[in-house]
Structure 1
Amino acid sequence: MNLTESWIGDKPLVPPCGLFGKGQHIVLAEDDDDFRSTIAMALRSDGFEVSEARNGLELLDKVAPCLGGNEPPKPIDAIVSDIQMPCFSGMEILEGLAEVRRRPPVILITAFGHPHLHATARSLGASAVFEKPFDLDDLRSVLFNLKDAPGFDGGY
């Protein structure tokens, strides 16, 4: 079940062709190298700058300044993270960010989704949860529409 549409409003707008992500920085955390590479390539083709993390510890290194209330060296416009990864899970990172006033939107992806997980992620402020396999155009639509989502202030 993909809860994206109910989380950010009506039917998401389809992103335009071209570089709609230009100037935006996405942190992508996924422990499957091939899957991470595929997502990163798609986002880069949309103009996003993508920082990749292979596990939760690498993701934590990239978002740690946010957790401490500081601005990261490179502003983060969104985080796309697998939930189950070595070291720290995407859910643990989301929990840490839940208390941060200005934080980037978080989109979670998982191969092990269930209604309780979706509800927990939503209560912690996830912008969307995608179950693998998912259509990359759905992820692109969410990223395209985040700037219009309630409470989005341009990232951190």
Structure 2
Amino acid sequence: MMPPLPTEPRPPRILLAEDDDEMRALLTLTLARAGYAVVALEDGFELSDYVLLTQVCGGPLLAPDLILSDVRMPGRTGLEVLVQVQACGLACPVVILSAFADGETREEARRLGVNAVLDKPVDLEELKATLHALARAAVPYR
């Protein structure tokens, strides 16, 4: 019998929910180049569906290591999905992006445990640094 092959650490899996096609493509490419496995989703409904299908919530999909979501999206907002994430017990860092992050939105995000709120247009270097810090703190070596 052959010994098992050594396993390499897998890249952190990030759920990216962004309704703007060009922004989603830019973020997906940027994060993939930075070493993340990106699951790109088009809106709050897709993000909600993915969360419900994770193993944590009883489904077949692997849970994400991080969630990056726009706040304002058709159907469900990023903050509405965060409530669902918490209700099913999925515990991972969450970063939200917003072009409309007023004080009330920031306070709601803080209350819901969002790890960071970044303003649009997003500084890609700041985004990568934020996600890297959160991934290092939350994802054990595999």
Alignment of 1:1-156 (within 5 A): 23-66=11-54, 69-70=57-58, 73-149=61-137, 152=138
Output one character per residue of 1:67-98: Cα deviation in whole Å (capped at 9) or x when no partner: 97336512311110001101111010012223
- Amino acid corresponding to residue 65 of structure 1 in structure 2: L
Between structures 1 and 2, the one with greater helix share: 2
* Equivalent-residue separation in structure 2 for 1:86 and 1:143 (angstroms): 25
Alignment coverage as a number of residue pairs? 132
- TM-score between the two structures when normalised by the length of structure 1: 0.75
* Equivalent-residue separation in structure 1 for 2:35 and 2:127 (angstroms): 14
Q: Provide the alpha-carbon RMSD of the alignment.
A: 2.2
Per-residue deviation at 1:66? 4.9
Query: Does the CA-based 8 Å contact 1:56-1:85 persist in structure 2?
Result: yes
CA distance change for structure 1 residues 71 and 128 in 2, over 3 Å: closer, same or farther? farther
* Equivalent-residue separation in structure 2 for 1:48 and 1:84 (angstroms): 24
The structure that has the greater radius of gyration is 2
- TM-score between the two structures when normalised by the length of structure 2: 0.82
* Equivalent-residue separation in structure 2 for 1:143 and 1:71 (angstroms): 26
Paired-residue identity, %: 33
Could you list the runs of 4 or more consecutive aligned residues of structure 1 that deviate by over 4 angstroms after TM superposition?
none
Structure 2 residues not aligned, in runs of 5+: 1-8
